[in-house]
Amino acid sequence: MTSILSIGVLGAGQMGNGIAHVAAQSGYQVILCDIQPVMLDRATQAIAANMSREVKRGKIEEAQRTEALARLRATVDVEALAAMDLVIEAVPESLPVKQEVYAQVTPHLKAGALFVTNTSALPITLLASHTPHPERFMGMHFFNPVPMIELVELIPGLATAPETHQAVRAVAEKMGKTPIDAGDSPGFIANRILIPMLNEAIFALHERVGTVEGIDAAMKLGMRHPMGPLTLADYIGLDTLLAICRVLHNEFGDSKYRPCPLLVRLVQAGWLGVKSKRGFYDYTKTPPAPSL
């Protein structure tokens, strides 16, 4: 299949709703699927609100917003994905969870449909082995917030067909993204470099090398980063960050990738960052104040 007209998105969390937003806005017919109706309600409300902000900023016209929202449908029924040309999986970063979802979804996909994963770090070839057609499977890694970040990593697995790679690249480009090819290695390119840096910033806090604000200021002012590493960790989600750290540590077996104990404790406490209103910063306050 080389022509993609419709896209299904599995998972209505931060990444899933962002992918659905961009796909609908790019002219695709979109079905957003999640097992939790409350997640679908939050996602559709967030997409509508985010598009309204784009209208106010002059990025899109009101008519474009209306048309994009009309192309988007939310459902808990995985059988609705049977009509989709491409399905993008954006469920939690857990191999058992993804395996379970694949077993539920792949029997409903139509002949020739492409299936891709938005995993941040899990091996593509391993994930593909849990699908009936690994030649039509690959990684398509978006970055949060999806409507704003132009990068998409394209990661073929061992069995990915060249035609699949080409079709997924065309989708990324139609979405206005800049696709780059990455090898099927844990963390791919961006997270292979970024995640150890964020983890090291957390170690610096854990070892009292600096304060939350001091560590963020050091990287913003000294390295000209637009956002400090602890703030960025909060936006990524500390549970997601921990999951990626564990994948890197398990896959490479190198102690330099071990997650900081402070990160583990924050996730255990439910302090997941912006999405839970508390992480390294307390987002119930204006402006956000350090939590530690």
What is the rounded distance in angstroms from the CA atom of residue 58 to the CA atom of residue 43? Answer: 23
Given the residues 17, 50, 120, 199, the one annotated as active site: 120
**Is residue 6 annotated as part of the catalytic site, yes or no?**
no
CB-side neighbour CA atoms (13 Å) of 1: 19
Given the residues 21, 118, 153, 199, the one annotated as active site: 153
Given the residues 17, 26, 144, 191, the one annotated as active site: 191
**Helical spans, DSSP H, in 156-275:** 162-174, 190-206, 212-222, 229-236, 238-252, 261-268
Structural tokens at position 102 = 């694949």
73: Cα separation from own chain's centroid? 20
**Is residue 133 annotated as part of the catalytic site, yes or no?**
no
Structural tokens at position 130 = 């849990």
DSSP per residue, 129-149? TTSS-GGGEEEEE--SSTTT-
Given the residues 21, 89, 141, 144, the one annotated as active site: 141
Eight-class DSSP state of 83: G
Pair type for strands 137-141 and 281-282: unpaired
Cβ(236)–Cβ(276) below 8 Å = no
Question: For the chain, how many helices (H) and strands (E)?
Answer: 11, 10
**Is residue 206 annotated as part of the catalytic site, yes or no?**
no
What is the rounded distance in angstroms from the CA atom of residue 102 to the CA atom of residue 99? Answer: 5
Cα dihedral 196/198/201/207 (nearest 10): -70
CB-side neighbour CA atoms (13 Å) of 32: 32
**Is residue 250 annotated as part of the catalytic site, yes or no?**
no
Give the Å distances, CA to CA, from 106 to 33, 69, 92, 127, 132: 14, 26, 17, 13, 7
Q: Which residues are catalytic?
A: 120, 141, 153, 191
